[in-house]
A and B are shown apart, each in its own frame.
Chain A
Amino acid sequence: MAILGAINPMLSVGLDGDNAWRLADYVKRGGYVALRRILEQKLPQEYVINEVKKSVLRGRGGAGFPTGLKWSFMPRSFPGDKYVVCNSDEGEPGTFKDRDILRYNPHSVIEGMAIAAFAMGAVRGYNYIHGEVWEIYERFEEAIDEARAAGFLGADILGSGFNFDLFGHHGYGAYICGEETALLESIEGKKGQPRFKPPFPASFGLYGRPTTINNTETFASVPYIINLGGEHYLEAGKANNGGTKLFSVSGHVNRPGNYEIPLGTPFATLLEMAGGIRGGRKLKGCIPGGSSAPVVPAAAMMDCTMDYDSIAKAGSMLGSGAVIVMDETTCMVKALERLSFFYYEESCGQCTPCREGTSWLYKVVHRIEHGQGRPDDLDLLASVTGNIMGRTICALGDAASMPVQSFIKHYRDEFAYHIEQKKCLVPVDVQRAGSGFFTATV
Chain B
Amino acid sequence: MYDTLILGAGMSGLAAGIRLAHYDQRVCILERHTTVGGLNSFYRRHGRNFDVGLHALTNYAPKGDRQGPLARLLRQLRLRYDDLELAPQTGSRIAFPEVTLRFGNGLDLLREEVRRQFPDQADRFERLVASLAGYEDLGRAGTERSAREIVGLLLTDPLLIEMLFCPVLFYGGSRERDMEFGQFSILFRSIYLEGLARPRPGVRQVLKLLVRRFKQLGGQLRLRAGVCRIVLRGGAAQGVVLDDGTEIAARCVLSSIGWRETMRLCGVPAGDLPPAGQISFVESISVLDVPPARLGMNETAVFYNDSPAFHYARPDEAIDPRSGVVCSPDNFDYPTPAEENILRVTCLANYDRWAADAMRS
Tell whether A and B belong to one assembly. no
| Chain B interface residues (CB < 8 Å from chain A) | none
| Chain A interface residues (CB < 8 Å from chain B) | none
